[in-house]
Amino acid sequence: MNLMLREYSDEEVKADIMNRLMRKGCWGGKYLPVDSLVHWLSKRVKRDGRRVRGLIRELIKEGYLLAHKGGKTISLNPALCREIIEYIEKVIEK
């Protein structure tokens, strides 16, 4: 039985995605494979991989994330550094 599994809001999942990338220092040219991120998060989020991939696509459309290598890897957009940090703090502080 997985005790960590609970219903996270889309905002919480987005903030967690960006927070993990920030902790790993993935800004601009330093990127992380999408599959690794989905694998880590799917252990904690209901409706696992498909939902996480959809939220990553939304973040790319909104400009917070940059896609590399044909969308197989992602990093944070350094041009939106302040907005990303404020978004993470706002959502995680709740």
The DSSP letter of residue 28 is: T
Edge-first strand listing for the sheet containing 65-68: 32-33, 73-76, 65-68
Helix (H) or strand (E) holding 42: helix 34-42
How far is the C-alpha of 21 from the C-alpha of 3, rounded, in Å? 24
Residues 20-52 have pLDDT tens digits of: 999 999 999 999 999 999 888 877 776 667 888
Q: What is residue 51's predicted lDDT score, i.e. its pLDDT?
A: 85
Helix (H) or strand (E) holding 41: helix 34-42
Residues 7-20 have pLDDT tens digits of: 788 899 899 999 99
Domains of the chain as residue ranges with CATH: 10-93 (1.10.10.10)
In this predicted structure, the answer to whether residue 5 has a pLDDT above a threshold of 60 is no
Structure tokens belonging to residue 27: 């800004």
How far is the C-alpha of 51 from the C-alpha of 12, rounded, in Å? 13
